[in-house]
A and B are shown apart, each in its own frame.
Chain A
Amino acid sequence: MTGSTAPPAPFTGRVGRADAAFRYATIAAGLVVLVVLGAIAVTTVRRALPAFDLMGFRFLTSSRWDPNADQFGAKAFLYGSLVASAIALVIAVPVSIGIALFTTQVVPARWRRPIIYTVDLLAVVPSVVFGLWGILVFAKVVPGFYDNIASAVHPIPGLRSLFGSSHGRSYMTAGVILAVMITPIITSLAREVIDTCSPSDREGAYALGATRWEMICGVVLPHAKNGLVGAVMLGLGRAMGETIAVALVIGSANNISANLFASGDALPARIANEWGEAEGNWRAALIGLAVTLFAVTILVNLLAAFIVNRSTAKSQGAR
């Protein structure tokens, strides 16, 4: 900058027109997303209306799902979706952040790539593969573990109701499989966020005599905190929407139970299971489940967008 006195010549002519065209093109591209989203919302809500008319608010507050009697209460499925996703997060978040910290802070550089590739590979395995593995292998061996846990915690009043008897297909089984599925996503986003922590900050911490653990706790995690929450939210979004793997292992029971080892059902799983035979109000009610899922997923994504935006603004403000 030193020595230069004349301001740079302003862009004119064709360059200006190209800029305008680019601007409109990007606005159009952005609008397409909104229009498609809006169109999906309008058409699904319209086709779900017969069920909403029939049930009113009881669509969300009732847990009686009996197509023969025209009763469609989605509470148990909403509950199952939330519980299985919550279990998935409880398991996947510490593991994912652990892997991310390991690959960025701990592991020697030449081992870094292979580990990252391996974790990312998990993300490309189709969900039905996880589902089949879950039903043919995992759900068969877990009842033994579940029974051991159940008898171990039986004397403890609070835990007794959380960990009861089981057949293998349960919220917990679905949650564990979802955890495996969302770990690569959370890991990869968490790694990117942690990588943005500037080396000078980290070296500063070392210079002050911090150990690696103190450096991670004092510098890396506070810097990445908000971004990590965004990564977790995106993982949650995927867990909520996962259909086939959950349909195969959650047990498909219209059930609300505090027992995490009991069978339940989730919104997308119920749609996939019953779509083929559904007609009339029943079909409308299944579309209603889709609308509910759509609304919950949008809420989660908005929350994620909000947190990510805030984290960006904050980190820029700090510079």
Chain B
Amino acid sequence: MATVSLVAIVLVGLLGLTGCGDESGGGTDTLGGRLNGSGATFPKTFYEVAIYEFLKQHQATTITYSGGGSGKGRTDLQENVVDWAGSDGLVKDADRVKYKGGEFLYFPTVIAPITVAYNLSGISELNLSPATIAKIFQREVTAWDDPAIVAENPKVAAKLKGGITVAHRSDGSGTTENFTKFLEKAVGTNAGGAWKLKSGSTVDWPADTQAGNGNAGVSQIVKDTKGAVGYVDYSDAVATEMKFAAVANKTGAYVTPTLAGASAAVEGAKINDDLSYDPLWADGAASYPITAPTWILVYAKQGTATQAETLRSFLLYLLTDAQKLADSVDYAAIPASLAARAVTQLDRITAP
């Protein structure tokens, strides 16, 4: 009896606190639940900002994002360790059966260019075609005055001199995966064959190249080494004030990496029914060809109604209001049409 009355007192107390006549429980302030996430580090800054803003409005909810890499996010989701995973790449068909929670959905969130950053004194504009980038990163072109580079940069030909130091990521990374996918798509086996290292979150780089940990590590090498070149996420390249090359896109136009160029690339890409798409080497004269996508992966079937509702509201926020925050942290918002399709897909997140 004592316990029952104690429970009653606590319940009355809680009602009194939340009270204010709101008995329906449908207001956003009553949103509860806890969403743990892990995965890609590339969109982490954006997710952190978005989570911070979202939780300001929903103080009873807990949302975390611990990063760790796309592979970790996917493995964690497979094992039901997290409720949502960030991933820069798609799940291979063979791996689908490993997902213990059954069917999962892709939600595209933001995009960003990957820059080809370089350290050459006196040169502030550099044009590079995918074929030349492939030769540089495979160490087939090892000097800046190589005819291949000079031919693309007649204006600064006199200043192009010295050896090239190639910097790449030492850690497995979605950035490496997208950069190598771009090269494979533009000049790989099916497109001329200049790129031979295939694609993946790490590839078998030539031994006489330099490796740095994370975007910061690669930036460090490029900044410290005269004649160095490396691939760096746009936000890090901007933050560390790097110089980066204009890259030739599918139409042959040299495009400098900008958020607008990234958005143009998504406009030119074909969106599949599951909202997967490939903005690398996209059509369109204004498209920046090395544009990286990223997705959030969640299971369609959630354990409880609260969990499903919290997940839907958080994703809805990411796809709508949070898109306006993307610019401030150097990511590009996804096009409105794609965001609208993703919002429609939210209905497929259900609870038993």
Contact = CB atoms under 8 A, between A and B. Distances in A.
Interface of A: 64-69, 135-136, 140, 167-169, 247-248, 251-255, 257, 263, 272-280, 283
B211 A68 contact: no
B173 A251 contact: no
A251 B209 CA distance: 9
A288 to B, nearest CB: 16
A167 B225 contact: yes
Contact of A169 (B69, B72, B201, B210): B210
A280 B202 contact: no
Most central of B170, B199, B207, B217 by chain A CB within 10 Å = B170
Given A67-B200, A252-B170, 17 more contacts: A69-B198, A167-B210, A247-B213, A252-B212, A273-B213, A274-B202, A276-B70, A276-B172, A277-B70, A277-B72, A277-B173, A277-B174, A277-B177, A278-B71, A278-B172, A283-B71, A283-B75
A274 B199 CA distance: 15
Interface of B: 41, 68-72, 74-75, 95, 165, 170-174, 177, 198-205, 207-213, 217, 220, 224-225
A284 to B, nearest CB: 12
A276 B204 contact: no
Q: Interface on chain B toward A: helix, strand, loop, or mixed SS?
A: loop
Contacts of A252: 170, 211-213
Contacts, number: 89
Given A140-B224, A247-B213, A277 B205 contact: no
Contact of A247 (B170, B172, B204): B170
A66 B72 contact: no
Nearest to A256: B207
A255 B281 CA distance: 32
A279 B210 contact: no
B71 A276 contact: yes
A251 B211 contact: yes
A48 B201 CA distance: 20
B188 to A, nearest CB: 12
A247 B171 CA distance: 10
A254 B172 contact: no
Contacts of A168: 224
A273 B170 contact: yes
29 contacts: A65-B204, A66-B203, A66-B204, A67-B200, A68-B198, A68-B199, A68-B204, A135-B220, A167-B165, A168-B224, A169-B210, A247-B213, A251-B210, A252-B213, A253-B207, A253-B208, A253-B210, A255-B207, A263-B211, A274-B171, A274-B172, A275-B72, A275-B172, A276-B41, A276-B69, A276-B71, A277-B201, A279-B71, A280-B95
Closest 10 pairs (CB-CB, A-B)? A276-B69, A277-B172, A252-B170, A252-B211, A277-B201, A277-B71, A255-B207, A68-B200, A66-B204, A273-B171
Nearest to A276: B69
Contacts of B177: 277
A253 B204 contact: no
Contacts of A65: 204
A279 B170 contact: no
A248 B75 CA distance: 26
Given A135-B220, A140-B224, A252-B170, A277 B202 contact: yes
Contacts of A279: 71, 74-75, 95
Nearest to B41: A276
A64 B213 contact: no
A302 to B, nearest CB: 32
Given A167-B225, A277-B171, A278-B172, A248 B69 contact: no
A220 B71 CA distance: 56
B57 to A, nearest CB: 31
Contacts of B75: 279, 283
A253 B168 CA distance: 10
A253 B72 contact: no
Contacts of A67: 172, 200-202
Contact of A253 (B172, B201, B211): B211
